[in-house]
Amino acid sequence: MPRVVAVLRRFEATTAVWVFVAFVLFVLILNPLYHLVLESFQLTRGQGVEWTLRNYIKAFTEPLYRGPVLWTFIVSAAVGPLSLMVGAAVAWCVGRTDMPLPGFIRTSVLLSFVTPPFLGAIAWIFLAGPREGWLNIIYRGITGAAGHEYLFNIFTMPGVVFTMALFTFPQVFIVVLAALNNIPSDVEDAASIAGGNSLSTMVNITLPLVLPALMAGLLLAVLEAMTLLGIPAVLAIPARQHLMTTQIRAIMDEGIDAVGLAAAYSFPILVAAALLVWMQRAALGRRGYATVGGKGGHRRPQKLGVWRYPVFAMCMVPVTCAIVLPYFALIATSFMKNLGHGLTWSNMTLENYRSIFQSRAIASSMVNTLLLATMAATGATLLASVIAYISQRQLVHGHRHLGLLATLPLGIPGIVLGVGLFAAYTKAPFVLYGTLWILFLAYVTKFLPLAYQASNAALMSIHPELEESGRILGANRLTVFKDVTVPLFKVGLLASWLLVFMPSLRELSTSALIWTIDTKVISVVILNLYDEARLADIAALGVILMIVTLAVVVCVFRMMGRDFMRA
Amino acid sequence: MRVPDDGPGFHEGLKGSRLATVDLVGLTKVFGGKVRVVDRLDLHIEHGELVSILGPSGCGKTTTLRLVAGFLQPDEGEVRVDGKLISSSSFSVSPDKRNMSMIFQSYGLWPHKTVYQNVAYGLKFRDVTRAEADRKVRAMLEVVRMEGLADRYPAELSGGQQQRVALARALVVEPSILLLDEPLSNLDANLREEMRFEIRRLHDKFKITSIYVTHDQAEAMVTSDRTVVMNMGKVEQIGTPREIYERPRTRFVAEFVGKTNSFRGVLRGRDQLEVAPGIFLRTAGDNEFREGQCVLASVRPHNVELYSEGRGPSATTGHNVWSGRVTRAHYFGDSVDYLVELPNWPQPIRAILPPNVWFRTGDPVRLVIDPAKCVLLLDLPED
């Protein structure tokens, strides 16, 4: 008994908070994984369940399921190097040369990061669909080829690879640019003074220093290609080839009894993703996420001479493909009566927007999406900031595990999370399926690592002595957190909120497995509209989605800006 | 209770403050399972005493302070205030319940609060009315001469002003113990000198039991009643600044606190140190050491006198007198720093003299050392 009393005497409110947080993290992340594993070994037999390996045997022996595994491997292996080449080259041009308008290229690449991949894929159908794609129409116009001939066909595996690379190269770009910016100029100067020419400096000094970032970028791109649902759902299925993600979705569509099979089939992606994230961490080493920015300072750029403009033009190619053309196609299409009739005044209409705003289903999906994104951003930010606080101030034993747990979802592909959530929350005692709560859990879990990294970075800039001086003056931990940490932390919290809000607006790969009629979100609506071939409506909805996203980004930046001014 | 004699209207404000003794008993902190950052430290601090802990970085002085503050919990030993246990390996009063104040190296001023709000914060957690709190904050800002800048934000203040705000914030809550963690290390040299006196002035005014951590011996000398010299987690010596400087007990103390000439040798008789075969240095002697023991003699460069050949006291006066040659002379404005080589001596001797006499490199000189200034130390093997 005296021990209990001693324990109680040392009990602080903080302890309660961290126990609660640890519990929430466990439920959030480990419960779906637990059910995923459980279900993969179960088959429903009438009333009872049977423990079996049959799900695994079925998933990896039937030819129907083997093809997607092979193709997922091929596509990822192709997307990775392609993204790496494009992303690293553009990053180097932006960060290290006197190419004109580096800021423009940088902003454009980051903008393509905001674009939902499925929307980009649909935009590329408008551009490079074999029949009605504008590029093919132009091609036929120039060469006089027959109506069934085409130059590009986006509904092919190379088309899938191309589109995926467009939306994964920004990741490589960000990581590599950060690494380039982190190389102190004097390191390169030292090499030049020692007599190295610019080529040998680049090969011997710059390259080894950015090699970890290149590796990390490659792994990120492969991970993304492997786990994307939107692009293969839009482009690969018409090409009559499932990838693993679309195959999982197809299995799940068969009904609740197929969950075990889907779970078993998810395993290779889960393992591969975890491995990729682990390797990527190892590559970046202690630097962690390279997006934390560099030391700045002036760096002498590489003189390109007569090549300045050609290099700029080269950088514009991926930007054009990822931003200019798709957005042009999307916006133009959203105003078109008939997609085959081209851009003429007589073909213009506002009908697409009208039909969207009149559809009750679409309106409710917009409300759902905004509500969910707001809730998820708030929830994830709250949770992440508390975890970041506990782990950085080393408040409890095992604080490191708590931080690690918070970044664990990075290694859980969205589609796998979807299967796990479905498995965990369709049965008693926690039936969340059919409510918005399951989507809320999905978004919080999936984007917790983003919020955690933002919170962590922001917290790192708050000196512990600022809190300790509050503590010694008589404030307990929670009071200090409220009076000192939170006010100083506000900007970081906003960044974290934004980092969850934006991807929540367009989350697809998890939502696609756990939505119901009453809980549709915009991304799911777009995919359903696609199945109904209502492309003009998608274009209009896509434009609205992007406007909302950008408006939120601008608003939050304004708010943060004002706050900066006051501090 | 001692009441400050020159506080303008602050006497009533101090009624709540109680003075306290601090006892550190066998205090030990181990980092990473093996590094004994603080190693069985014993220290008693009297009511109203200002004790400085002096040592190089990594000696465990800041860790000691954080153990007292309650930010760290000891692995062994205890911290007691007024005899009452507040920290042990199994028990710890949280920092907010210790009624202590702390000045941090970075000041720890909250950038989102004004000077006034910073200073007033701690009073929120004490039983004072708003009007009383306001009066106390204003009075304290006056004491640190910051009354005109109450509405500024910390970023709008100079380093010295920030320091004063930090002091005001720490003192306004009338702590029973004040902890200072290298409070002046972020200031430039001139300001640092000024703030040393300021801290001592405030201590004389409020007489709060204080622990002052620093690596700067001048700070420790000026501010403290007693100084604890620490090295590698252990106490090397405890004493008044004068004792520490004039009677260092270990080579580390002699060399860390001020400049010194150390001579290694064998004790012959009570006070003769044989520093080289046949060469004897007469010292102050020390009953702790026996004849034949290997010991060190420490001589401050300030206590070495130089004269032109043929001048100054002769050996018959009982002084150590040798002839030598200047091998280096640096002019410092308020002093000249010499290196003098003596024939057959194992090492040159450093001497610092006022600049009214001026020898050049190569000049022959007569070097004189008063035996009373040659302090004997235990000769520990070097680490």
Residue B259: count of CB within 10 angstroms of its CB: 12
Residue B185: count of CB within 10 angstroms of its CB: 14
Number of domains in chain A: 2
Do A347 and A491 fall into the same domain? yes
Q: Which of A232, A112, A230 is nearest to A172 (CA)?
A: A112
Contact B96 A476 (CB under 8 A): yes
| CB proximity list for B216: less than 8 A, separation 6 or greater | B54, B184, B185, B192
Q: Is residue A299 part of a domain?
A: no
Per DSSP, what are the bridge partners of residue B368? B305, B321
Residue B100 near chain A (CB below 8 Å): yes
Looking up residue A411, the CATH number of its domain turns out to be 1.10.3720.10
Residue A470 near chain B (CB below 8 Å): yes
Q: Nearest-CA distance from B82 to chain A in Å?
A: 18
Tokens of residue B251, six digits: 């080579």
Contact B105 A470 (CB under 8 A): no
Which of A273, A306, A333 is a domain's end point? Answer: A333
| CB proximity list for A42: less than 8 A, separation 6 or greater | A49, A50, A51, A52, A55, A260
Q: Using an 8 Å CB-CB cutoff, list chain A residues near B155.
A: 567
Q: Whats the size of chain B, residue-wise?
A: 383
Contact B121 A473 (CB under 8 A): yes
- Which pLDDT score, from 0 to 100, does residue B11 have? 36
Q: Using an 8 Å CB-CB cutoff, list chain A residues near B107.
A: 465
Q: Which of A493, A499, A478, A418 is nearest to A174 (CA)?
A: A499
Do A497 and A523 fall into the same domain? yes
Q: Are A291 and A175 in contact (CB under 8 A)?
A: yes
Q: Is residue A530 part of a domain?
A: yes
The interface predicted TM-score of the complex, written ipTM, equals: 0.79
Do A408 and A275 fall into the same domain? no
| CB proximity list for B271: less than 8 A, separation 6 or greater | B282, B283, B284, B285, B371
Closest residue of chain A to B126, computed from CA coordinates:
A474
Do A440 and A563 fall into the same domain? yes
Do A185 and A277 fall into the same domain? yes
* Residue A245 CA to its chain's centroid (Å): 15
For residue A178, what are the domain limits?
A: 67-290+314-333
Q: How far apart are CA A432 and CA A442, in angstroms?
A: 11
Contacts with B, A 480-509, CB within 8 Å:
483-484, 487-488
Q: B297-328 burial, b if ≥16 CB within 10 A, otherwise e?
A: bbbbbbbbbbeeeeebeeeeeebbbbebbbee
Q: Nearest-CA distance from A279 to chain B in Å?
A: 28
**How does pLDDT run along chain A (567 residues), one tens digit per residue?**
455 555 555 556 667 777 888 889 888 899 999 999 998 998 877 777 888 888 899 888 888 898 999 999 999 999 999 999 999 999 999 988 888 988 889 888 888 877 889 999 999 999 998 888 888 888 888 888 887 888 899 999 999 999 999 999 998 998 888 888 777 666 666 766 776 677 777 777 777 788 888 998 999 999 999 999 999 999 998 888 999 999 999 999 887 778 899 999 999 999 999 999 888 888 776 544 333 333 444 556 777 888 889 999 999 999 999 999 999 999 999 998 877 777 778 888 888 899 888 888 899 999 999 999 999 999 999 999 888 888 887 766 667 788 888 888 988 999 999 999 999 998 877 788 888 999 999 999 999 998 998 888 888 878 888 999 999 999 988 899 889 888 888 877 888 888 899 889 989 999 999 988 889 999 999 999 998 888 889 999 999 998 988 888 777 667 665 443 333
Do A77 and A218 fall into the same domain? yes
Q: How far apart are CA A155 and CA A550, in angstroms?
A: 30
Do A349 and A321 fall into the same domain? no
Do A226 and A112 fall into the same domain? yes
Q: How far apart are CA B325 and CA B342, in angstroms?
A: 7
Nearest to A473 among B107, B111, B122 (CB): B122
Q: Are B27 and B79 in contact (CB under 8 A)?
A: yes
Q: Is residue A301 part of a domain?
A: no
Contact A466 B108 (CB under 8 A): yes
For residue A318, how many C-alpha atoms fall within 13 Å in the half-sphere facing its CB? 33
Do A435 and A325 fall into the same domain? no
Residue A475 near chain B (CB below 8 Å): yes
Q: Are A260 and A40 in contact (CB under 8 A)?
A: yes
Contact B125 A475 (CB under 8 A): yes
Q: Are A111 and A105 in contact (CB under 8 A)?
A: no
Q: Is residue A297 part of a domain?
A: no
Contact A469 B108 (CB under 8 A): yes
Do A431 and A539 fall into the same domain? yes
Nearest to A488 among B71, B112, B179 (CB): B112
Q: Is residue A305 part of a domain?
A: no
Instruction: Identify the residue whose tokens are 């190269």.
Output: A169
Q: Is residue A57 part of a domain?
A: no
Do A436 and A501 fall into the same domain? yes
Do A172 and A136 fall into the same domain? yes
Q: Is residue A170 part of a domain?
A: yes
Q: Nearest-CA distance from B2 to chain A in Å?
A: 23
Q: Are B92 and B78 in contact (CB under 8 A)?
A: no
**A554 burial via Cβ count (<10 Å: 0-12, 13-18, 19+):** exposed
Q: How far apart are CA A33 and CA A45, in angstroms?
A: 23
DSSP string, A314-383: HHHHHHIIIIIHHHHHHHHHHTBS-GGG-S-GGGB-SHHHHHHHH-HHHHHHHHHHHHHHHHHHHHHHHH
Contacts with A, B 116-155, CB within 8 Å:
121-122, 124-126, 155
Mutation to test the B interface, candidates A473, A480, A481, A489, most B Cβ within 10 Å: A473
Q: What is the identity of the amino acid at A177?
A: L
Q: Is residue A351 part of a domain?
A: yes
Q: Where are the alpha helices (H) located in chain B, listed in sequence order?
A: 61-69, 115-120, 130-143, 159-171, 189-206, 217-223, 241-246, 251-256
Global pTM reads 0.74
Question: What is the 3-state secondary structure of B109-125?
Answer: CCCCCCHHHHHHHHHHH
